[in-house]
């Protein structure tokens, strides 16, 4: 117990009637506050003690530091402030239920949640990723049990209130009843001024030391009660050092540890081990010594960090002790003796106070960000700098116009009012040749200038820019971005892409005026890997009211006067590169600035899909300036809000299939070979962070996002197709829609309907459109509509040979465009069986079967054949399957006569392909035992076909529960053995004999 300080206060209370009021106030608070502190354990059971025992230990530590003589010199008000602050300083950890509810509406709470979500290693990451403060049940349902959910919620809120507890303590000191239901008396007998000072002392116990002695900190001296003074700064310093020294090994409560359970955070366990590690502790007016021997690296690091705080605090107080101590008679603070922490046993650290772990060398990291390993081109910075200008402009547009247009209209970028506002903005770009490079005669200097009317930079913003990807820590900007419509938000963190500028130039100059602070400034930023090692020269400029907000970014770089290598498409569209090439005279011209033309074309490509207009000019030496924005016929896309995703979709049905063009917020990226039949598709992703969709260089899809991208494309296509079907049905008589469009759209819908997926919504949509009209029947093959072919008595469809020969006498030859032709074939088969009955298609071999041609002929008849394929067709199909397999595959086919017992149950679904593309029908299927493998080797076109005894045993065991008929494994194997021999016998008599047995592995 802090007997010395309490007795001293009581003694001083007898010296003056006013001072007795302090004794009485303390008498109340000494009994009332501990009751409130007892509740801290309900939210903070995983913390060390913050109850009365902690307050008492702080006071004992202060008594040890001051000694009896100095305590005797304390004024009553100083003594009262010391006692009260030791008890009140952690009262902010008392959290009433209303405070929990109000935390959810605090904007900073959302930032707090987001910071945990972005930290994938945080123990609350999963909980926060699903956290919904409007419906906590949603947050809890993802947890393994109610206990786990409760623990996670408690730990989340405990950390939130821990961060705020010092300021909350100040509020509670001033309004104890209203804030926490504490009936500490507040009367006019003790001035509110002194309680406010007490509150400030409590608030500053966790602040930076400079805040105590700074301009807005605590006063050195203040009028106390009666005739005496008090010294708030001194009291605050005593509280801080007494708090830091509550280090002993009894700080954690065993009961609270049991309540917290084994799921308490690792940091809590590290702090417990830190206290348990104390081996020596000396605290008196002459000396402070602490040694600790830690059993784990984590507790070692926490101890080291805590001891460093103790050193810094003591040294800071010592350096200003004359401005802190009430008088010279107090002498000096105790000196610091041996303050040491070490690991127990044979454990070692590599550097004192540092976690032994892998580290990323900062210079190598910057080399990676600037290097060719990351960016495909040294000109990638052009796109990055332009994107930064667009992002800054969009934020500025939002801030200046958000209240002028309704929220509903802002949600749609195609709304006329929104388009008008954005259409008034522009980014100005200039690319011009400056002259010969002084150090490199074969090079010319070029200057690129990008000027926007965006948010600009304040001096503080430059600090974010200089730290890679730290703009995400800019809370002011983040709050603004969070309030913006999703399609309008910046694409990602500003800073990573900016580093790419130094691939091209050694210096970037920025002249700016901040929209937020009106600061005008100029910055010269140097390459971190260059001669000036990342130096940043910043200076303020006069604040001219006529200067518009925004930034002007300028880089100067050298390019070859005469390009030594270049390439350009033979089927090129008009471009700056083509103009330079077409006008170049290799004999008369002293320069061939092809590289600069590439940059100019990059700017033009960026401008095509930029939400902000780009006005650019290109000026080569001795040539006229030319505009860079080539405005072609703009195709209008559809803005689609899918709930979780927003996209702009450009969709037009065509007679072919083509690769989908994918963009993220206007900039194209490689998404792989995503294709859809009978459609030209461009999709612009307008939601989500760049990192969620793209690789770090933004050139290609993030592999983890590929499946999601395909789903978003399909959902967007379905959304638009539904509307188109409705519009076409509603305007049947309209001549505005071309017949060609209806034919291709009909083909597209049918192609999507044939996708192999359960509950395919396209099937219903396609059927709905087909009832309106089967326009695909008007599609022409060999100058004849499909409907005409379907109206004959017999329809023979042949596969076009690889060399283009038509080796059989057929009505239609398909195969030159496999994807398109396969769809046409499926549609024809489906329609034929609708008209003339199911299973009316027979597959036969080609006329050139004897020459090992594997082409098949599909005969559509009006009568059902006895077998859907003949033996020669089976052999041809088997050989064809082996040569075209893209992965290890087994095949399904209608059962051969005599092998019906191997038919699969209709409910069975398998990862297997159909051997014959006969489309719909009422066939039963069997699974062949042969495993067709992918071709081995670079020049191989055929794989091995496995039917080994060992594989067959496993195959029969696996297929047994999937068969329609109940057979024993022995019966199944016997039948499959018979099937294998039957196929081998057919092959032995066929032109494929030698090839088949060469490929067969038994």
Assign residue 762 the CATH number of its domain.
3.30.230
In this structure, the answer to whether residues 596 and 721 fall within a common structural domain is no
Determine the structural domain holding residue 433 and report its residue range: 365-628
In this structure, the answer to whether residues 80 and 184 fall within a common structural domain is yes
Q: Per-residue confidence at 940, pLDDT binned at 50, 70, 90?
A: low
* Tens digit of each residue's pLDDT (9 = 90 or more) over 655-692: 877 789 999 998 889 998 888 888 999 999 999 888 88
| End-of-domain residue from the set 343, 374, 391 | 343
The pTM (predicted TM-score) of the whole model is 0.74
* Mean pLDDT value across residues 428-441: 88
Residue 195 has a pLDDT of 95
Using CA atoms, how far residue 829 sits from 133, 789, 826, 874, in Å, is: 55, 11, 5, 19
| End-of-domain residue from the set 596, 628, 660 | 628
- Residue at 350 is within a domain: no
In this structure, the answer to whether residues 644 and 561 fall within a common structural domain is no
Computed on alpha carbons and rounded to an integer, the radius of gyration of the chain in Å comes to 40
In this structure, the answer to whether residues 301 and 223 fall within a common structural domain is yes
In this predicted structure, the answer to whether residue 586 has a pLDDT above a threshold of 90 is no
In this structure, the answer to whether residues 798 and 907 fall within a common structural domain is no
User: For the range 121-128, what are the long-range contacts, defined as Cβ-Cβ under 8 Å and sequence gap of 24 or more?
Assistant: 123/155, 123/265, 123/266, 124/152, 124/155, 124/156, 127/152, 127/153, 127/156, 128/156
- Residue at 475 is within a domain: yes
- Residue at 386 is within a domain: yes
In this predicted structure, the answer to whether residue 568 has a pLDDT above a threshold of 90 is no
Residue 133 has a pLDDT of 75
- With contact defined as beta carbons under 8 Å apart, do 681 and 661 qualify? yes
Residue 974 has a pLDDT of 95
Enumerate residues 6+ apart whose C-beta is below 8 A from 395: 454, 455, 477, 480, 481, 484, 490
* Mean pLDDT value across residues 901-913: 91
The pair phi, psi for residue 39, each rounded to 5°, is: -75, -10
Where is 434: in which H helix or E strand? strand 426-436
Degrees, nearest 5: CA angle 522-525-526 = 150
In this structure, the answer to whether residues 600 and 456 fall within a common structural domain is yes
In this structure, the answer to whether residues 648 and 528 fall within a common structural domain is no
CA atoms within 13 A on the CB side of 187: 7
Query: Which is more confidently placed, 818 or 428?
Result: 428
Q: Which two tokens stand for residue 193?
A: 């001024």
* Mean pLDDT value across residues 179-201: 94
Residue 482 has a pLDDT of 87
Tokens 């050694």 locate to 506
Q: Which two tokens stand for residue 255?
A: 């009961």
Q: Nearest to residue 347, comparing CAs of 279, 275, 309, 299?
A: 299
In this structure, the answer to whether residues 829 and 909 fall within a common structural domain is no
- Residue at 778 is within a domain: no
- Residue at 427 is within a domain: yes
Q: For residue 579, with 0-12 CB atoms within 10 Å meaning exposed, 13-18 middle and 19 or more buried, which class applies?
A: middle
Please give the Cα distance from 486 to 940 (Å, whole number).
50
* Tens digit of each residue's pLDDT (9 = 90 or more) over 294-310: 988 888 889 899 999 99
Enumerate residues 6+ apart whose C-beta is below 8 A from 825: 797, 814, 858, 917, 919
In this structure, the answer to whether residues 906 and 861 fall within a common structural domain is no
Please give the Cα distance from 916 to 894 (Å, whole number).
9
Please give the Cα distance from 385 to 579 (Å, whole number).
25
In this structure, the answer to whether residues 246 and 110 fall within a common structural domain is yes
Number of domains in the chain: 5
Please give the Cα distance from 847 to 851 (Å, whole number).
9
What is the DSSP-derived secondary structure letter of residue 759?
T
- Residue at 354 is within a domain: no
- With contact defined as beta carbons under 8 Å apart, do 879 and 918 qualify? no
Question: Three-class SS of residue 491?
Answer: coil
Give the dihedral sign, CA 262/266/272/273. Answer: positive
List strand residue ranges (DSSP E) for 493-549, in order.
507-513, 520-526, 536-541
In this structure, the answer to whether residues 170 and 259 fall within a common structural domain is yes
Residue 84 has a pLDDT of 96
* Mean pLDDT value across residues 424-428: 94
In this structure, the answer to whether residues 60 and 188 fall within a common structural domain is yes
| End-of-domain residue from the set 595, 628, 661 | 628
Residue 494 has a pLDDT of 42
Query: Which is more confidently placed, 930 or 804?
Result: 930
Query: Which is more confidently placed, 696 or 596?
Result: 596
- Residue at 777 is within a domain: no
- Residue at 918 is within a domain: yes
Please report, for the domain that includes residue 506, its CATH number.
3.30.565.10
Where is 613: in which H helix or E strand? strand 613-619
- With contact defined as beta carbons under 8 Å apart, do 802 and 789 qualify? no
Q: What's the whole-number average pLDDT of the chain? A: 87
């Amino acid at each position: 117990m802090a007997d010395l300080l309490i007795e001293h206060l009581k003694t001083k209370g007898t010296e003056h009637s006013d001072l007795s009021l302090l004794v009485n106030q303390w008498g109340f608070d000494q009994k009332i506050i501990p009751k409130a502190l007892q509740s801290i354990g309900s939210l903070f059971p995983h913390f060390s003690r913050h109850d009365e025992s902690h307050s008492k230990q702080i006071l004992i530590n202060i008594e040890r530091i001051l000694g009896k003589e100095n305590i005797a010199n304390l004024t009553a008000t100083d003594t009262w402030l010391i006692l009260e602050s030791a008890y009140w300083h952690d009262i902010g950890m008392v959290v009433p239920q209303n405070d929990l509810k109000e935390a959810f509406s605090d904007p900073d709470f959302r930032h707090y949640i987001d910071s945990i979500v972005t930290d994938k290693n945080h123990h609350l990451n999963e909980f926060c990723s699903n956290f919904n403060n409007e419906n906590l049940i949603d947050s809890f349902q993802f947890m393994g049990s109610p206990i786990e959910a409760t623990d996670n919620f408690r730990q989340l809120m405990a950390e939130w209130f821990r961060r705020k507890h010092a300021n909350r303590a100040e509020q509670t000191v001033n309004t104890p009843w209203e804030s926490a239901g504490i009936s500490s008396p507040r009367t006019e007998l003790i001035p509110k001024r002194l309680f406010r000072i007490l509150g400030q002392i409590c608030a500053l116990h966790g602040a930076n030391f400079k805040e105590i002695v700074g301009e807005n900190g605590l006063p050195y001296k203040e009028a106390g009660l009666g005739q005496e003074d008090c010294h708030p700064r001194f009291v605050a310093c005593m509280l801080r050092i007494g708090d830091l020294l509550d280090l002993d090994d009894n700080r954690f409560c065993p009961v609270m540890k049991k309540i917290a359970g084994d799921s308490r955070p690792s940091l809590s366990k590290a702090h417990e081990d830190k206290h348990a590690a104390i081996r020596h502790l000396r605290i008196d007016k002459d000396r402070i010594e602490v040694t600790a021997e830690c059993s784990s690296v984590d507790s070692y690091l926490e101890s080291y960090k805590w001891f460093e705080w103790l050193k810094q605090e003591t040294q800071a107080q010592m350096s200003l002790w004359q401005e802190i101590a009430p008088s010279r008679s107090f002498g000096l603070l105790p000196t610091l003796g041996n303050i040491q922490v070490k690991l127990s046993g044979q454990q070692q650290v590599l550097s004192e106070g540092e976690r032994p772990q892998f580290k990323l060398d900062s210079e190598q990291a910057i080399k990676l960000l600037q290097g060719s390993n990351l960016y495909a081109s040294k000109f990638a910075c052009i796109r990055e700098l332009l994107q930064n200008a667009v992002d800054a402009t969009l934020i500025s547009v939002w801030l200046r116009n958000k209240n002028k247009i309704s929220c509903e209209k802002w949600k749609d970028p195609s709304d006329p009012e929104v388009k008008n506002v954005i259409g008034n903005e522009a980014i100005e770009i200039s690319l011009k040749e400056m002259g010969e490079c002084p150090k490199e005669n074969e090079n010319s200097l070029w200057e690129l200038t990008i000027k926007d009317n965006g948010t600009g930079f304040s001096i503080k913003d430059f600090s974010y820019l200089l730290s890679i990807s730290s703009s995400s820590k800019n809370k002011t900007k983040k709050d603004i971005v969070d309030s913006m419509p999703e399609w309008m938000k910046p694409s990602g963190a500003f800073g990573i892409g900016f580093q790419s500028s130094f691939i091209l130039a050694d210096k970037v100059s920025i002249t700016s005026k901040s929209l937020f602070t009106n600061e005008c400034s100029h910055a010269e930023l140097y390459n971190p890997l260059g001669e000036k090692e990342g130096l940043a020269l910043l200076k303020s400029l006069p604040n001219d009211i006529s200067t518009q907000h925004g930034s002007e970014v300028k880089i100067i770089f050298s390019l070859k006067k005469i390009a030594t290598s270049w390439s350009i498409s033979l089927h090129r569209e008009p471009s700056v590169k083509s103009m330079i090439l077409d006008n170049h005279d290799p004999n008369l011209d002293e320069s061939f600035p092809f590289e600069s033309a590439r940059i100019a074309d990059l700017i033009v490509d960026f401008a095509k899909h930029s939400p902000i207009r780009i006005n650019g000019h290109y000026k080569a030496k001795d040539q006229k300036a030319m505009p860079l924005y080539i405005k072609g016929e703009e195709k209008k896309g559809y803005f689609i809000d899918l709930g979780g995703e927003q996209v702009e979709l450009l969709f037009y049905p065509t007679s072919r299939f083509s690769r989908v063009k994918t963009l993220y917020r206007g900039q194209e990226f490689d998404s792989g070979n995503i294709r859809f039949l009978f459609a030209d598709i461009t999709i612009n992703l307008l939601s989500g962070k760049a990192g969620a969709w793209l690789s770090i260089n933004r050139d290609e899809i993030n592999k983890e996002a590929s499946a999601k991208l395909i789903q978003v494309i399909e959902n967007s296509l379905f959304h638009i197709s539904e509307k188109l079907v409705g519009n076409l049905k509603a305007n049947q008589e309209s001549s505005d829609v071309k017949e060609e469009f209806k034919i291709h759209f009909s083909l597209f819908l049918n192609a999507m309907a044939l996708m192999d997926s359960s509950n395919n919504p396209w099937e219903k949509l396609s059927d709905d459109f087909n009832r309106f009209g089967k326009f695909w029947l008007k599609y022409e093959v060999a100058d004849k509509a499909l409907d005409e072919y379907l109206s004959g008595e017999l329809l023979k469809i042949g596969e076009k040979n690889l060399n283009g020969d038509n080796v059989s006498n057929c009505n239609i030859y398909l195969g030159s465009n496999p994807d398109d032709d396969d769809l046409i074939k499926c549609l024809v088969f489906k329609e034929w069986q609708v008209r003339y009955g199911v299973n009316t298609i027979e597959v036969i071999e080609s006329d050139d079967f004897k020459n090992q041609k594997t082409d098949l002929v599909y005969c559509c008849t009006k009568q059902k054949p006895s077998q859907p394929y003949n033996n020669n067709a089976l052999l041809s199909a088997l050989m064809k399957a082996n040569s075209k397999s893209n992965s290890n595959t087994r095949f399904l086919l209608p059962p051969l006569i005599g092998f019906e017992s191997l038919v699969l149950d209709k409910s069975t679904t398998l990862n297997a392909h159909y051997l014959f593309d006969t489309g719909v029908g009422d066939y039963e299927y069997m699974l062949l035992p042969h495993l067709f493998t992918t071709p081995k080797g670079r020049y191989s076109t055929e794989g091995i076909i496995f039917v080994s005894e060992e594989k067959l045993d496993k195959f029969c065991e696996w297929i047994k529960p999937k068969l329609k008929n109940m057979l024993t494994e022995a019966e199944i194997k016997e039948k499959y053995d018979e099937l294998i021999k039957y196929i081998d016998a057919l092959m032995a008599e066929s032109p494929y004999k030698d090839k088949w047995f060469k490929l067969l592995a038994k």
